[in-house]
Amino acid sequence: MKSIEKEFDKTQSKNPNWSSYTVFASTVRGKKYSEDRLKRMFKKLVSKDDYANKDKKGLIKNLCALNICPKRTENRGKFALDNTKDEKTINGII
């Protein structure tokens, strides 16, 4: 968990005019963190002033697309990527 916080702090110091959500999105982009970890760190690092509470689920979903959250498959418990066929679209979001 510390790595997300450290990267978040580095990105924030380099871009002081960015909102905490933008910094967080930039920090997790393409890193393949689990959805649970993203949610916990989102709650900890992103200011509640940066989003409306009703939009939180959509923002988390967008972060998972940026992050490419691993998803457990039903067989053998291995991880598979959500959107392997459309990475160019995901990478073009931010």
d(CA 83, CA 52): 27
Would you state the pLDDT for residue 48?
92
pLDDT digits (tens, 9 = 90+) for 46-77: 999 999 999 999 999 999 888 886 665 544 45
pLDDT at 89 over 60: no
Question: What does the block give as tokens for 24?
Answer: 């967080």
Q: What percent of the chain has pLDDT over 70?
A: 70
**Based on the structure, what is the number of domains in the chain?**
1
Which DSSP string corresponds to 32-73? ---HHHHHHHHHHHS-GGGS-GGGHHHHHHHHHHHHT-EEE-
Residue-range definition of the domain harbouring residue 32: 2-91
